[in-house]
Amino acid sequence: MTSAALTLRAVGCDDADLLFRLMQYYFFEASAWSGERIGADGLFDCRRADVAAAIEDDPHWARLLECEGEVAGFVLVEPLALDDADAAPMHACLQAFAPGATCGPMELADLFVLPAWRRRGLALETVRRLLVPGIGPWLIATFREDAAAHAYWTRTLPRSGLRHEALPDGIDARFRLFAVEAPTD
């Protein structure tokens, strides 16, 4: 199977249960470095009602990754809010990275590929398909504690054909950041 068989399917309200369950796997895996614990109900701090509300509020927020008729993961995207004073350094870096952007930056908020589908190029192919040439920069943020995700993007972006830049380390205390843009040619 190659990444060419990947489909990014918009999540609808009928997919709220599926996305909620996938997010529980995502939080479980992240708990190895985040230290997050489950609640008394046996779930991580993500409620099905919140997932359903987010899907209803923004139909473009989530997409399922599908391969060979099976769910392979999910991606969450959202406009990057840069309107407070704390975001000024990040905003300046993104403007310098993509000075001619025609719209505000987007954030690849969360990307999760199920273990059975890893090492097939799905994460990078997902990013490639989300980027639209000439529209604006995207931000890939990895939690500082998530060494595996940071190592993946540090290793993968230089080979990707995507224009990218690691943003200065002190911009955000919680994340390591990469600005990414589709090639314009």
Q: Enumerate the domain spans of the chain.
A: 3-181
* Residues contacting 164, CB < 8 A, separation 6+: 157, 158, 178, 179, 180, 181
Q: How confident is the model at residue 185 (pLDDT cuts 50, 70, 90)?
A: low
Cα–Cα distance, 129 to 117 (Å, whole number): 18
Query: Residue 28: pLDDT above 90?
Result: yes
Distances (CA, A) of 58 to 10, 52, 77, 181: 11, 10, 10, 23
Average the pLDDT over 108-120 and give the result: 94
Average the pLDDT over 102-131 and give the result: 90
* Residues contacting 165, CB < 8 A, separation 6+: 97, 178, 179
Query: Residue 4: pLDDT above 70?
Result: no
Q: What is the pLDDT of residue 98?
A: 84
Give 104 or 158, the one with higher predicted confidence.
158
Q: How confident is the model at residue 134 (pLDDT cuts 50, 70, 90)?
A: low
Q: Which helix (H) or strand (E) holds 97?
A: helix 88-97
Q: What is the pLDDT of residue 114?
A: 97
Query: Residue 141: pLDDT above 80?
Result: yes
Give 77 or 103, the one with higher predicted confidence.
77
Q: Per-residue pLDDT tens for 49-64?
A: 999 999 999 988 899 9
| CATH top class, domain 3-181 | alpha beta
**pTM given for the model:** 0.88
Give 73 or 160, the one with higher predicted confidence.
73
